[in-house]
Amino acid sequence: MRVAIGSDHAGFFLKETLESFLEQMGVGVIDLGCDSPDPVDYPDFARTVAERVARGEADRGVLVCGSGIGMSIAANKVRGARAALVAEPLSARLCREHNDANVLCLGARLIGEDMARECLRVFLATEFAGERHGRRVGLISAMETDHG
């Protein structure tokens, strides 16, 4: 599995922690920045990660900003990205099972490192359930085409 990861300045330190966690799990990591806690614009990093995932260059994506909200809004503008803002493991599981989310968004100012690691672990370990959920994800994909 390959995971593209990115953050803004507010999420930089948590991104670095999660990158190490992924490497310890044996997951391939594509670090797309940012590279320091110096101020940057989060939409740039959300777009880069979401595009890599949407093109199949990464299996999943992880985005971290202060709240996770901006990253999730921006990533969801990329056709083929399904970003989910998560703060606990149940949501991490359900966004994969029911929505086939492929980008996990976390708020560094709102979630602790241990909880973030567990959300990431669950997100990567959970498969899409398909069946009736597949039809619904298809409806979402059709909306991208209708409004692209």
65 in active site: yes
pLDDT 10s digits, 21-57 = 999 999 999 999 999 999 999 999 999 999 999 999 9
Query: Which pLDDT score, from 0 to 100, does residue 109 have?
Result: 98
133 in active site: no
State the chain's mean pLDDT as an integer: 97
Which residue out of 9, 34, 65, 105 is catalytically annotated? 65
Is pLDDT at 148 greater than 70 in this prediction? no
Domain ranges across the chain = 2-146
Query: Which pLDDT score, from 0 to 100, does residue 147 have?
Result: 75
Whole-prediction pTM:
0.97
**Average pLDDT value for residue range 9-27:** 98
Measured distance CA(115)–CA(94) in Å, rounded? 16
Which backbone phi and psi does 69 adopt, to 5 degrees? -70, -50
Burial of 61 (0-12, 13-18, 19+ CB in 10 A): buried
Which residue type is seen at 132? R
Question: At 146, is the pLDDT very low, low, confident or very high (cuts 50, 70, 90)?
Answer: confident
2-146 is classed in which CATH architecture? 3-Layer(aba) Sandwich (3.40)
